[in-house]
Amino acid sequence: MTLVAVDFGIDQALEKLGIKETNNGTSTGSDYFSSGEIIDSYSPVDGALIGKVKSTSLNDYEKVIETATEAFQIWRKKPAPQRGEIIRQFGDKLRELKEPLGKLVSYEMGKSYQEGLGEVQEMIDICDFAVGLSRQLHGLTMHSERPGHRMYEQYHPLGIVGIISAFNFPVAVWAWNTALAWICGDVCVWKPSEKTPLCGIACQNIAAEVFKANGLPEGISCLINGDYKVGEMMTNDKRVPLVSATGSIRMGKIVAQAVAARLGKSLLELGGNNAIIVTPDADLKMTVIGAVFGAVGTAGQRCTSTRRLIIHESIYNKVKESIVTAYEQLRIGNPLDENNHVGPLIDKDAVAMYKDALEKVVDEGGNLIVKGGVLEGEGYESGCYVYPAIAEADNDFKIVQHETFAPILYLLKYSGDVENAIKIQNDVVQGLSSAIMTNNLREAEIFLSAAGSDCGIANVNIGTSGAEIGGAFGGEKETGGGRESGSDAWKIYMRRQTNTINYTTELPLAQGIKFDL
């Protein structure tokens, strides 16, 4: 890895995170040299080259899997509460390094510094959750139909958990998976996005320090770097019983087919086309705040970003005017400057997709009421800054049905009862997050009922983004159906075993079957 000097205090942050120039491209802590290709990490903030990281070759990958397999033999035998103590220390280390890690997230990915700090806080929160969980990996007991028998269920660790994460949450999603997998007794092999490799190295360094201090093997936490070809090594590897993948629907379908072909398990958190329904009984001020943050936060690059605003015709013009006025107040620029609301898109490819989407919505008959555009001039030299756009459109437009990872908000109009709005909301292939703005209890309950939102997340009087780690996170339909983070999401990282114990001197069979010798 080669580092390049940068401004904004990033060099000091890198130093605190233990990132320094090295020939070890995979950064697993191993003493071998990677023979993989070079990955350049450019910041979308100013276009500067932050560092060069070597990708993982097939030989490197084999060594990583061997290291992880050996570590699993030790880690799985450690009592869960003792594993919890290690995760507690990891969380404390994250508290200590929250500022530099949050700054690196902001600079390498492009989200605001406050959002970068918030992402690290999510890591801390899931560690706290996991520590408590370490004493609550409960099974079930049940009564046997056979006299003198006891039945129960228990959970055991799976082994190696493969994690493929996306650039938009370069550290938090890894932590959601890893903290729970570690508590369950699994070891983890992580392939972060090739667009944010330094965030992955920083997290690996933090984890490695904690494990080393406790005399535990490095293979409990492993890192592999590279593009989809490196990910394919893991998805096709029968030694990895579970692959958790976050990304596009297209990518998720590829991962799901590869893992299913070897009868492995996959946990998928894929695209979202999230909507907020605004009824006549909505609080307008809350609506504007929720919709604007949902649409422009992280420059529209959250899987839970608000893409569609479904507004009742009786208040449509009023809501539209308020949203447009709010957009006029947005400040776009360096995300490390906390006065700015919106940072850059991740790269110029994302900018091209943003421009293409704006052209398509117009071609399909939409009306750009906030035209958007690419920003140029001082402070925008990276070419990755765009102005958030708003378009009046119809839900059946092809571009509206498609998730564009950029700050484009589509305004849709509905008439009649809330059921009509729910039908529009559900009429997309994605099913991640949804929200309704209303002070009408009946409308809220219909929205949350079995006949309401078909999404994995359904909110009332808050926006579509900003999930807490206590609840399981994920969605339905082509969003993948997986669940990460809180609730009972831990069960996906374990295998369930049913046990029957006979403490008699007889051997009765179930269902009254007789078999005498």
Question: Catalytic residue positions?
Answer: 269, 303
The stretches of 36-79 forming alpha helices (DSSP H) are: 58-75
Cα separation, 97 vs 205, in Å, equals: 11
The two tokens of residue 451 are 């006949």
Distance of CA 51 to the CA centre of its chain: 24
Dihedral sign of CA atoms 81, 83, 85, 87 in order: negative
The set of residues, in sequence order, having a beta carbon less than 8 Å from that of 229 and lying 6+ positions away, is none
Cβ–Cβ < 8 Å for 189, 72: no
Place of tokens 């989809």: 228
Helix %, strand %, coil % for the chain, to 5? Answer: 40, 20, 40
In the chain, the N- to C-terminal Cα span, in Å, equals 70
Cβ–Cβ < 8 Å for 434, 440: no
Cα separation, 353 vs 144, in Å, equals: 60
The two tokens of residue 121 are 């806080």
Cβ–Cβ < 8 Å for 103, 9: yes
Place of tokens 């999510």: 122
The two tokens of residue 331 are 């400040």
Cα separation, 199 vs 102, in Å, equals: 9
Cα separation, 353 vs 357, in Å, equals: 6
Residue type, 364: E
Cβ–Cβ < 8 Å for 372, 389: yes
Cα separation, 30 vs 62, in Å, equals: 12
